[in-house]
Copies of this chain bind each other. A is one copy, B any other.
Protein backbone atom coordinates (compact mmCIF):
# COMPACT_ATOMS: atom_id res chain seq x y z
CA UNK A 1 0.00 0.00 0.00
CA UNK A 2 2.93 2.35 0.51
CA UNK A 3 4.85 1.20 -2.54
CA UNK A 4 3.66 3.99 -4.77
CA UNK A 5 4.52 6.71 -2.27
CA UNK A 6 7.83 5.10 -1.46
CA UNK A 7 8.74 4.89 -5.11
CA UNK A 8 7.85 8.56 -5.41
CA UNK A 9 10.16 9.49 -2.56
CA UNK A 10 12.98 7.56 -4.16
CA UNK A 11 12.66 9.45 -7.39
CA UNK A 12 14.00 12.50 -5.59
CA UNK A 13 15.89 11.41 -2.46
CA UNK A 14 17.35 8.21 -1.06
CA UNK A 15 16.07 6.87 2.24
CA UNK A 16 17.47 4.21 4.56
CA UNK A 17 15.04 1.46 5.46
CA UNK A 18 14.65 2.91 8.97
CA UNK A 19 13.76 6.26 7.46
CA UNK A 20 11.28 4.55 5.19
CA UNK A 21 9.73 2.94 8.24
CA UNK A 22 9.33 6.27 9.96
CA UNK A 23 7.77 7.85 6.92
CA UNK A 24 5.27 5.10 6.49
CA UNK A 25 4.02 5.29 10.06
CA UNK A 26 3.07 8.94 9.57
CA UNK A 27 0.55 8.41 6.80
CA UNK A 28 -3.02 7.23 7.09
CA UNK A 29 -4.91 5.58 4.30
CA UNK A 30 -8.34 6.79 3.39
CA UNK A 31 -10.95 5.85 0.80
CA UNK A 32 -13.47 8.11 -0.85
CA UNK A 33 -16.45 7.39 -3.04
CA UNK A 34 -17.13 8.90 -6.39
CA UNK A 35 -18.59 12.42 -5.93
CA UNK A 36 -17.42 12.60 -2.33
CA UNK A 37 -15.68 15.78 -1.18
CA UNK A 38 -12.12 15.47 0.09
CA UNK A 39 -12.15 19.15 1.01
CA UNK A 40 -14.96 21.65 0.93
CA UNK A 41 -14.87 25.42 0.67
CA UNK A 42 -14.70 27.01 4.12
CA UNK A 43 -12.97 24.08 5.78
CA UNK A 44 -9.34 24.24 6.80
CA UNK A 45 -7.21 21.88 4.76
CA UNK A 46 -5.71 19.62 7.43
CA UNK A 47 -3.83 17.15 5.25
CA UNK A 48 -1.35 16.82 2.49
CA UNK A 49 -2.80 14.13 0.29
CA UNK A 50 -1.12 11.61 -1.97
CA UNK A 51 -3.33 9.78 -4.45
CA UNK A 52 -2.93 6.01 -4.64
CA UNK A 53 -5.83 5.34 -6.95
CA UNK A 54 -8.58 7.37 -8.55
CA UNK A 55 -9.04 10.85 -9.84
CA UNK A 56 -9.81 14.20 -8.21
CA UNK A 57 -10.58 17.77 -9.21
CA UNK A 58 -9.80 20.93 -7.21
CA UNK A 59 -11.94 23.91 -8.05
CA UNK A 60 -13.17 27.27 -6.86
CA UNK A 61 -16.63 28.69 -7.31
CA UNK A 62 -16.67 32.14 -8.87
CA UNK A 63 -19.02 35.01 -8.01
CA UNK A 64 -21.45 34.01 -10.77
CA UNK A 65 -21.43 30.38 -9.75
CA UNK A 66 -19.02 29.13 -12.40
CA UNK A 67 -16.56 26.47 -11.35
CA UNK A 68 -12.91 27.17 -12.07
CA UNK A 69 -10.74 24.08 -12.02
CA UNK A 70 -7.29 24.70 -10.62
CA UNK A 71 -5.92 21.19 -10.59
CA UNK A 72 -6.69 17.60 -11.39
CA UNK A 73 -5.19 14.72 -9.45
CA UNK A 74 -4.33 11.19 -10.53
CA UNK A 75 -2.40 8.25 -9.11
CA UNK A 76 0.97 9.41 -7.80
CA UNK A 77 0.04 13.10 -7.49
CA UNK A 78 -0.14 15.28 -4.42
CA UNK A 79 -3.21 17.40 -3.85
CA UNK A 80 -4.56 19.71 -1.16
CA UNK A 81 -4.67 23.43 -0.51
CA UNK A 82 -1.14 24.40 0.40
CA UNK A 83 -2.12 27.87 1.49
CA UNK A 84 -4.83 26.70 3.84
CA UNK A 85 -2.68 23.83 5.10
CA UNK A 86 0.15 26.11 6.19
CA UNK A 87 -1.77 29.21 7.18
CA UNK A 88 -4.64 27.46 8.93
CA UNK A 89 -7.06 29.77 7.11
CA UNK A 90 -10.27 28.32 5.65
CA UNK A 91 -9.82 27.08 2.12
CA UNK A 92 -11.57 28.53 -0.89
CA UNK A 93 -11.14 25.23 -2.71
CA UNK A 94 -13.39 22.26 -3.21
CA UNK A 95 -11.76 18.93 -3.91
CA UNK A 96 -14.06 16.39 -5.43
CA UNK A 97 -13.56 12.75 -6.37
CA UNK A 98 -14.31 12.08 -10.02
CA UNK A 99 -13.90 8.36 -9.34
CA UNK A 100 -13.64 6.18 -6.25
CA UNK A 101 -10.34 7.31 -4.82
CA UNK A 102 -7.78 5.99 -2.32
CA UNK A 103 -5.26 8.30 -0.74
CA UNK A 104 -2.55 8.51 1.88
CA UNK A 105 -2.76 11.60 4.03
CA UNK A 106 -0.55 13.30 6.58
CA UNK A 107 -1.58 15.96 9.08
CA UNK A 108 0.30 19.17 9.70
CA UNK A 109 1.68 18.03 13.06
CA UNK A 110 2.85 14.74 11.64
CA UNK A 111 4.26 16.59 8.68
CA UNK A 112 6.43 18.75 10.91
CA UNK A 113 7.42 15.81 13.04
CA UNK A 114 8.44 14.05 9.87
CA UNK A 115 10.67 17.00 8.94
CA UNK A 116 12.35 16.69 12.33
CA UNK A 117 12.81 12.94 12.24
CA UNK A 118 13.73 12.66 8.58
CA UNK A 119 15.19 16.00 7.49
CA UNK A 120 15.78 14.73 3.96
CA UNK A 121 12.05 14.87 3.51
CA UNK A 122 12.25 18.62 3.56
CA UNK A 123 14.31 18.31 0.39
CA UNK A 124 11.74 15.99 -1.15
CA UNK A 125 8.97 18.49 -0.57
CA UNK A 126 11.10 21.39 -1.71
CA UNK A 127 11.71 19.63 -5.01
CA UNK A 128 8.05 18.71 -5.28
CA UNK A 129 6.83 22.24 -4.75
CA UNK A 130 9.50 23.54 -7.04
CA UNK A 131 8.19 21.33 -9.82
CA UNK A 132 4.65 22.38 -9.06
CA UNK A 133 5.72 26.01 -9.22
CA UNK A 134 7.41 25.51 -12.58
CA UNK A 135 4.27 23.80 -13.90
CA UNK A 136 2.12 26.67 -12.61
CA UNK A 137 4.32 29.22 -14.35
CA UNK A 138 4.08 27.25 -17.57
CA UNK A 139 0.33 27.26 -17.26
CA UNK A 140 0.34 31.04 -16.77
CA UNK A 141 2.59 31.37 -19.79
CA UNK A 142 0.19 29.30 -21.89
CA UNK A 143 -2.75 31.35 -20.70
CA UNK A 144 -0.98 34.51 -21.76
CA UNK A 145 0.26 33.35 -25.12
CA UNK A 146 -2.10 30.80 -26.60
CA UNK A 147 -5.73 30.84 -27.72
CA UNK A 148 -8.17 28.30 -26.27
CA UNK A 149 -7.77 25.72 -29.00
CA UNK A 150 -4.01 25.46 -28.60
CA UNK A 151 -4.28 25.25 -24.84
CA UNK A 152 -6.70 22.37 -25.38
CA UNK A 153 -4.28 20.61 -27.70
CA UNK A 154 -1.47 21.13 -25.24
CA UNK A 155 -3.61 19.78 -22.43
CA UNK A 156 -4.57 16.52 -24.14
CA UNK A 157 -1.01 16.06 -25.33
CA UNK A 158 0.46 16.53 -21.88
CA UNK A 159 -2.19 14.50 -20.06
CA UNK A 160 -3.38 11.97 -22.64
CA UNK A 161 -4.79 9.62 -20.02
CA UNK A 162 -6.99 12.33 -18.56
CA UNK A 163 -9.00 12.80 -21.72
CA UNK A 164 -10.49 9.35 -21.10
CA UNK A 165 -11.36 9.96 -17.48
CA UNK A 166 -12.44 13.58 -17.29
CA UNK A 167 -15.45 15.17 -18.94
CA UNK A 168 -14.97 17.96 -21.45
CA UNK A 169 -17.06 20.07 -19.19
CA UNK A 170 -14.35 19.91 -16.59
CA UNK A 171 -11.50 20.32 -19.02
CA UNK A 172 -13.22 23.50 -20.21
CA UNK A 173 -13.29 24.86 -16.68
CA UNK A 174 -9.58 24.06 -16.36
CA UNK A 175 -8.80 25.90 -19.60
CA UNK A 176 -10.91 28.87 -18.58
CA UNK A 177 -13.54 28.65 -21.32
CA UNK A 178 -17.17 27.58 -21.41
CA UNK A 179 -18.14 24.02 -22.34
CA UNK A 180 -19.86 25.44 -25.43
CA UNK A 181 -16.69 27.11 -26.62
CA UNK A 182 -14.70 23.95 -26.03
CA UNK A 183 -17.21 21.97 -28.03
CA UNK A 184 -16.93 24.36 -30.97
CA UNK A 185 -13.18 24.48 -30.75
CA UNK A 186 -12.98 20.70 -30.77
CA UNK A 187 -15.15 20.33 -33.83
CA UNK A 188 -12.93 22.81 -35.68
CA UNK A 189 -9.94 20.81 -34.54
CA UNK A 190 -11.45 17.67 -36.09
CA UNK A 191 -12.06 19.33 -39.43
CA UNK A 192 -8.46 20.40 -39.73
CA UNK A 193 -7.17 16.86 -39.29
Contacts and interface: CB of A to CB of B under 8 A. Distances in A.
Which 10 pairs of residues, A with B, have the shortest CB-CB distance? A136-B136, A68-B144, A126-B126, A62-B145, A133-B133, A144-B176, A83-B134, A129-B129, A68-B145, A143-B143
Task: Determine the interface band of chain A, counting residues with CB < 8 A from chain B.
Answer: 20 to 34
Q: How many copies does the complex hold?
A: 2
Interface string A130-159: 101110110111011100000000000000
A41 to B, nearest CB: 13
Interface stretch (A28-36, A96-104, A117-125, A185-193): A117-125
Interface string A89-123: 00000000000000000000000000100010011
Which one of A136, A139, A144 has the greatest number of beta carbons of chain B within 10 Å? Answer: A144
A119 B121 CA distance: 12
A66 B70 CA distance: 26
A125 B119 CA distance: 14
A123 to B, nearest CB: 6
